[in-house]
Structure 1
Amino acid sequence: MRICLLTEGSYPYVVGGVSSWCQMLIQGLPQHEFFIYSIGAEAKDRGAFKYKFPPNLKGVQEEFLDEILNQYSGGMRENILTAEEREAIYELVIGGRPLDIRKLASIFRDRRRFASSLDIFMSSDFFDVIQRVYMEKYSYLPFTDFFWTMRSMLLPLLYLLQQDLPQADVYHSVATGYCGVIGAMAAEIYHKPFIITEHGIYSREREVEIIKSDWAKGDFKAVWIQYFYNLAKLSYATADRVYTLFEHNAEIEQDLGCDPQKIGIVPNGVHMERFADIGELQKHDGPLTVGAVVRVVPIKDIVTLLRAFFLFKEEFPDARLVVMGGYDEDKEYFELCKQTVSMLGLTNVEFTGSVNVAEYLPQMDFMMLSSISEGQPLAVLEGFAAHRPFVTTNVGCCWELIYGDSNDDLGEAGAVVAPMDFEAMAQEMIRLGKDFELRRKMGNIGYERTKRGYTYEHFIDRYREIYQAYVQEA
């Protein structure tokens, strides 16, 4: 069976997180062929793959959003859409009711009428739709700014909808954003099943980014946020099944409009054997070493970790912090992190870049995760597999990983604090730093919790069952 895995801003260009999940999924199911449909930001990344592809990965289709700039239009056009097509675009923009993907397919797959998505934007029909949305919902904003915001917002999606779509037996998206809508479109065109595995909650992650951003100004932040929630609703509505990593995410998806009958839970899993040579924590001479396996990007909030480490060093002046993860993805944020290190006068802080974490984890006394959004972080599970306790923020399913669910009486594998609360984070770091037996006990609890419920074998067996249900239809 041929499975098209749709990714966005992750595999195969970024190491860790969702990308690691994709690689493990493909490797674990060699009986199936996989094809990657990847959406990236900039064409300069074309071919810059960070993974060695398994033999059953048969190809990658790369689409980059900055290639929109290469489009051209023949100029202003009048009355090129039917009334039903205008209504479909209106529903896409307004987001009030479930949208039938077939209506979008009828517009954007018609190459006879539209050679470029700009043909639609350069039409009186599009102007009329945007004016209608403006009058109904956004009349408090300057119309010219609103029009160009909507154009910037919609152009990437409409551009992607017009590109060639690969044929497959199953379409499997790793998010509900652009790649979710493209997966829905491909499944509609080829009459195949469409499933989603949502790691974090895509629309909420975009909301956090937009609120903190400089490129979206004032009241226009709300316009952008609503748009990404609209994409999520469209993806949920068209998917045959929606999988997530833990119960709380399933509840959020339901609150956002996903039919609860569609939702299933499949936890992440780790290769326990990869860390088999790393035993439980041992006492040692010398300074404490604190680790974080994390990409250096804003959503991971390394700055808060650095501020917490500053307070930690007041108790442990010789302590080390080792940040293990790539720092090329957002160079401006990496510079901010280095400036923060300098401003706080921190010593013994190392940014390693991408490394084999199994080689570094034996050096760590405990681990940190400071993110402001997560799903079910593989970094925590890998740390647990190496008997290392964690201090995490209360994001994704970190609470469940640290403290266990209602069926788990193992105890605490670390501590959880509120996102961005560097003082509370530092207090928990100090508590663990002062008590070796506590660290050892927590590390062993994390190991046992992972062994019971979060192994690679369980993860692969579940997706083998999911795909098997579609084999007869292929």
Structure 2
Amino acid sequence: MRIGMLTEGGFPSASGEAGLWCDRLVRGLPQHEFDVYTLSRGAREETAAPELPAHVRLARSAALWAPADDGVSLGRRARRSFAEHFATLVRAVSCDGDGFADGLHGLAGLARDHGGLPAALRSEVALRALESACRAPGAHRALQAVTVPDLLETADRVERALRPLSLDWYEDDGLASADLCHAASGGPAALAGLLAKRFCGVPLLVTEYGVHLRGRYLEGREDGLSAPVRALLGGFHRLLAREIYAMADMITPGNTHARRWQEQCGADRSRLRTVYPGMAADGFAAVGESGDSQDPDAHGDGRTLVWVGRVEPAKDLVGLLHAFAAVREEEPGARLRLFTAPARDEESAGHLAHCRALAAQLFPDEAADAHAVGDSPVSFEEIGGPDAPEPADAYAAGSVVVLSSVVEGFPLSLVEAMFCGRATVSTDVGAVVEVIGGTGLVVPPRNPRALADACLALLRDPERRARLGAAARARALELFTVEQNLAAFRGIYLELISRSPVRRPAEAVDADGGPVPFAHPAEAQVAGRLSGAAHIPSWAAEAAFVPLAGADGPETATEVPR
């Protein structure tokens, strides 16, 4: 089976959990051929050249970050067609009404037949259509204050989101030859799969471990976009997600939190199937197996709380420090070890400095060195460097792992703690409750007092810690390993192919549209080596000497190929 893997900023060139998941999936299913198509979001991804496994037939990429121009200028009739289709699309966006799909597929057909779409989407015709949609009756109230810079910003971002319409990925040697398109996210990556289904009839599978639409909403606020631009882009991505969900043959959310988003955007429940992301458990096996002991001391330092993650406001380290101050009032021997990933930018570094300063303010009479682990109740230790501790060592350093986030998708650090057999205290955000499943304590977010009480309950009860840690490890090994993820997608691929109509190439179809006999061999490829012989095709292996009864004598052996 040939799979067209569609990613945005992920495998094979980019790092991060999405890229890591794609890499594990592709390498874990060597019985299939993969064609990898990547929409890159930065120059660094364009220059990366990773080594790909042998069953990856090709890897192609297109840039979303750079301006695009195919050098084509639309003629008068094509310009008129573009204006009609684009006006239909943006009217639906401004009023959250019907017509988005008609406009989108009209633009796709125009790009396929004529080209010139990138320039047209940045043209004065497009800007006028946007402005007219913003002034139309029934338009969103925020659009009444739209300005020319707002229109220019919106046109630029919409053109980048629609970049897949202008790509040459849908030819016979591209996605048209795939048996299945698997989009590793929503948005532009899934849009490429949507076009492959429309133009070539290729089934579409969409996987979302982080909901693309939610990310676009947050991105608009983080980028400081004006209210009219946020309203236009929010409406565009919402309707795009609705169309993708409506046309996908199957959608696999990574958790019920993502599933609820998809259902709210119109996804059919019958085509939704939750598949948890697979994580490698091998690196945590030693810590987890040592924690299988009934000895409470085997579950880490009974006085130490551990936190592992990236330093950013959404992780609410400020609330955790205040909660730990309450813990110290009742348990003076308690300690908090914060294992942080290296700061990615100035904002992360600044937030880390703020947390260090807060720790020094909350514990003024303690050891002054915030990096020390000895007598200081709070330590900041970096992981991920050449001389830094491994993640498994971080979880082994304490008996209770804390997650204090106010915003969270799928809590990867929580699953790692479960692999290590650690009891956990978490805030009720994202997919936390679904992941924990009763094997840890969960408290409301932004509630330091509740967080402190839960931590104290586990610090004072070693038997309960051991019991919860063992249950957590068993749950993680059952649900969240790479093996279960691969098994799920192996079955889904076969199911979708079995439900899809046969697509025959032109040379395999006669003048009446029927199949040409023997146009394809019975077996195109035999994996491995046959016992006792090499390089024997399956049809030859099935040929036999069939005994035939002679008319006047004993049976003779005649070679009859089947």
Give the alignment's TM-score, normalised by structure 1: 0.83
Map of 2:321 onto structure 1? 309
Which AA in structure 1 matches 2:211? I
Match of 1:319 among 335, 339, 342: 335
**1:122 Cα offset (Å):** 1.2
Distance in 2 between the 1:326 and 1:183 partners? 36
The aligned residue for residue 42 of structure 1 is 42
Work out the CA distance in 2 between the residues paired with 1:283 and 1:84. 66
* TM-superposed deviation, 1:285: 5.7
* Cα distance in 2, alignment partners of residues 108 and 419 from structure 1: 48
Greater CA drift, 80-89 or 187-196: 80-89
Q: Quote the offset at 1:428 in angstroms.
A: 3.3
Determine which of 424, 430, 439 is the counterpart of 1:413. Answer: 439
Structure 2 Cα separation of the partners of residues 422 and 151 of structure 1: 44
In the alignment, is the contact (CA less than 8 A) between 2:93 and 2:235 conserved in 1?
A: no
Gaps of 5+ in 2: 361-369, 371-378, 504-562
Give me the whole-angstrom Cα distance separating, in 2, the residues matched to 1:210 and 1:204. Answer: 10
Distance of aligned partners of 1:161 and 1:333 in 2 relative to their CA distance in 1, 3 Å threshold: farther
Shift of 1:325: 4.2
> Which amino acid counterpart does residue 99 of structure 1 have in structure 2?
A
> C-alpha distance in 2, partners of 1:58/1:306?
49
Counterpart pick for 1:458 among 484, 490, 500: 484
Q: CA deviation at 1:92?
A: 6.4
Paired residues for 1:13-412 under 5 Å? 15-48=15-48, 53-68=52-67, 71=69, 80-82=79-81, 84-90=84-90, 93-94=93-94, 95-97=96-98, 99-100=101-102, 102-110=105-113, 112-114=114-116, 117-124=118-125, 126-136=126-136, 137-138=139-140, 139-165=143-169, 166-167=174-175, 168-211=178-221, 213-278=222-287, 279-280=290-291, 282=298, 288-292=304-308, 294-295=309-310, 301-302=314-315, 304-313=316-325, 315=328, 319-323=335-339, 325=341, 327-328=343-344, 331-346=345-360, 347=370, 348-353=379-384, 356-402=390-436, 404=437, 412=438
Q: Is the 8 A contact 1:181 1:234 kept in 2?
A: no
For 1:409, the equivalent position in structure 2 comes to: none
Structure 2 CA distance for aligned equivalents of residues 16 and 74 of structure 1: 36
Q: Compared with structure 1, are the counterparts of its residues 91 and 217 closer, same or farther at alpha carbon in structure 2 (3 Å cutoff)? A: closer
Identity %: 24
* 1:56–1:222 CA distance, 2 compared to 1 (3 A): same
Letter of the 2:191 partner, please give it: V
Count of residues paired in the alignment: 454
CA distance in 1, matches of 2:15, 2:416: 15
Q: Helix, strand or coil: the match of 2:185? A: coil
3-state secondary structure, aligned to 1:140:
helix
Given the superposition, is the C-alpha separation of residues 252 and 382 from structure 1 closer, same or farther in structure 2, using an over 3 Å criterion? same
2:474 to 448, 453, 468: 448
Q: Distance in 2 between matches of 1:421 and 1:158?
A: 43
Could you say if the C-alpha distance between residues 154 and 441 of structure 1 is closer, same or farther in structure 2, counting changes exceeding 3 Å? same
Q: 1:407 aligns to what?
A: none
Q: Is the 8 A contact 2:127 2:155 kept in 1?
A: no
Note closer, same or farther for the CA distance 1:274–1:338 as it changes in structure 2 (3 Å cut): closer
Equivalent position of 2:506 in the other structure: none
Q: CA deviation at 1:32?
A: 1.2
Distance 1:416 1:209, change over 3 A: farther
1:61–1:318: structure 2 CA closer, same or farther, 3 Å change rule? Answer: farther
Q: CA-to-partner distance for each residue in 1:45-68, whole Å, 9 max, x for gaps?
A: 32447x764443444333333212
Query: Shift of residue 424 of structure 1?
Result: 4.1
Contact 2:301 2:398 in 1 (8 A): no
The whole-number CA distance in structure 2 between the counterparts of 1:449 and 1:313 is 32
How far apart, CA to CA, are the structure 1 residues paired with 2:302 and 2:401? 17
Q: C-alpha distance in 1, partners of 2:26/2:250?
A: 19
CA shift, 1:154, in A, is 0.7
**Compared CA separation, residues 372 and 128, structure 1 to 2 (3 A):** same
| Higher mean displacement: 360-369 or 254-263 | 360-369
Which amino acid in 1 is paired with 2:119? Answer: L
- Is residue 2:463 matched to residue 1:437? yes
Residue 243 of structure 2 aligns with an amino acid whose one-letter code is: L
1:45 and 1:73 map into 2 onto residues whose CA distance is 25
Say if 1:323 and 1:352, in contact at 8 Å, map to a contact too: yes
Q: Is the 8 A contact 1:5 1:34 kept in 2?
A: yes
Which residue does the alignment assign to 2:557?
Answer: none
Q: Which has the higher contact order (CA 8 A, sep 6+)?
A: 1
Distance 1:419 1:323, change over 3 A: same
TM-score, with structure 2 as normaliser: 0.71
Deviation track 1:133-179 (CA, whole Å, cap 9, x = no partner) reads 11121552134244223213312123343123242321111222221
Deviation at 1:467, TM superposition (A): 0.8
Bigger Rg, which one: 2
Q: Which amino acid in 1 is paired with 2:21?
A: W
2:442 counterpart letter in structure 1: V
Q: Is the 8 A contact 1:386 1:447 kept in 2?
A: yes
Amino acid at match of 2:440: G
Contact persistence 1:77–1:119 (CA under 8 A): no
Cα separation, 2, equivalents of 1:132 and 1:179: 29
Q: Does the 8 Å CA contact 2:339/2:381 hold for their aligned counterparts?
A: yes
Offset of residue 236 of structure 1:
0.8
CA distance in 2 between counterparts of 1:182 and 1:162 reads: 10
**Aligned partner of 1:255: which letter?**
Q
How far does residue 326 in structure 1 lie from its aligned partner after superposition?
A: 5.8
Shift of 1:458: 2.8
Show CA shifts across 1:321-377 (max 9, x none). 34354643xx13322332223331452112323785345433343323344544433
Q: Counterpart of 1:257 in 2: which secondary structure?
A: coil
Relative distance call for 1:336 and 1:228 in structure 2 (3 A) is: farther
Would the aligned equivalents of 2:14 and 2:45 in 1 still touch at CA under 8 Å?
no
Unaligned 5+ segments in structure 1 are 405-411
Amino acid at match of 1:395: V
Q: Distance in 2 between matches of 1:343 and 1:77?
A: 63
